Amino acid sequence: MMPEIVIHTENLTRRFGDFVAVNNISFDVKVGEIFGFLGANGAGKTTAMKILCGLLSPSSGVATVAGFDVYKENERIKENIGYMSQKFSLYENLTVRENITFFGGIYGIDRKSLKIKSEELIQRLGLGPEADKLVGSLPLGWKQKISFSVAILHNPKVVFLDEPTGGVDPITRRQFWDMIYEASAKGITVFVTTHYMDEAEYCDRVSIMVDGAIAAIGKPSELKQQFGVENMDGVFLQLARGAKRSE
Ligand SMILES: Nc1ncnc2c1ncn2[C@@H]1O[C@H](COP(=O)(O)OP(=O)(O)OP(=O)(O)O)[C@@H](O)[C@H]1O
């Protein structure tokens, strides 16, 4: 049986005036896959991700997420995804419990299940003693773990993570990735952008965008072999060196 495709794009393009931010990208992501979406600043990752989240229309090409068309069914897409970004995260001036309740409500979880899920999550993360503390008082690594857990509380088909672990050390990143693996094992597809090459190594597959196009795509092991280098840093540097856009 063919593995089920959760994200499908074909010649997906987005222009801003004459400028082509996303240029003819085509790829598929399978159920439960951890897909790394890499590229230098300005490569077009955020633009592509906005399209896949149903927030921005493409100029041309095809894209479906969880079986829904980004042109016509973007509201259905929003119901089936989770989203986490380092930049828009939890409310610092609400407690852990209040944040979980707030975001769970936004994702449409009913009040009764939300109460149960919220307590389960607090226990699972070992946050009992911190549950009624303000999020602002917690270390960054904890905020990221809570933020991720909240983004998948409604059991979405896909979770989009935009540089989820910025600013924390490799050990804390590794712990975060253990949570990603758990989500993926439950069948949640993970679409993640990162600038950290240790994280690129943790992905099942990665694509690397250069100047709006996908310059390489494959398993980390395949890409390292293809470029004749020891690590993903080497792959990334070879491709990024040729980039015209930079910021
Ligand atoms: N609304 C817009 N109007 C005009 N140009 C835009 C718009 N949004 C993005 N761009 C341009 O498209 C290009 C790609 O931007 P995008 O934010 O997608 O890159 P990125 O790979 O996500 O980079 P970063 O990692 O810095 O966020 C950039 O040159 C940017 O200036």
Q: State the complex-level ipTM.
A: 0.94
71 lines ligand 1 (CB under 6 A): no
**For ligand 1, atom 28: residue with the closest CA:** 42
What are the DSSP calls for the chain, one per residue? Answer: -PPPEEEEEEEEEEEETTEEEEEEEEEEEETT-EEEEEE-TTSSHHHHHHHHTTSS--SEEEEEETTEETTT-HHHHHHTEEEEESSS---TTSBHHHHHHHHHHHTT--HHHHHHHHHHHHHHTT-GGGTTSBGGGS-HHHHHHHHHHHHTTT--SEEEEESTTTT--HHHHHHHHHHHHHHHHTT-EEEEE-S-HHHHHHSSEEEEEETTEEEEEE-HHHHHHHHT-SSHHHHHHHHHTT-S---
25 lines ligand 1 (CB under 6 A): no
Q: pTM for this structure?
A: 0.93
At 108 the pLDDT is: 86
Q: Which atom of ligand 1 is nearest to the CA of 21?
A: 12
**For ligand 1, atom 1: residue with the closest CA:** 16
Overall average pLDDT of the 66-75 stretch: 95
pLDDT at 87 over 90: no
46 lines ligand 1 (CB under 6 A): yes
41 lines ligand 1 (CB under 6 A): yes
**For ligand 1, atom 26: residue with the closest CA:** 41
45 lines ligand 1 (CB under 6 A): yes
245 lines ligand 1 (CB under 6 A): yes
pLDDT at 53 over 80: yes
Q: Which atom of ligand 1 is nearest to the CA of 193?
A: 25
pLDDT at 65 over 80: yes
Overall average pLDDT of the 100-125 stretch: 93
CA–centroid distance, residue 54 to ligand 1 (Å)? 17
**For ligand 1, atom 2: residue with the closest CA:** 16
How does residue 2 score in pLDDT terms, banded at 50, 70 and 90? low
CA–centroid distance, residue 188 to ligand 1 (Å)? 27
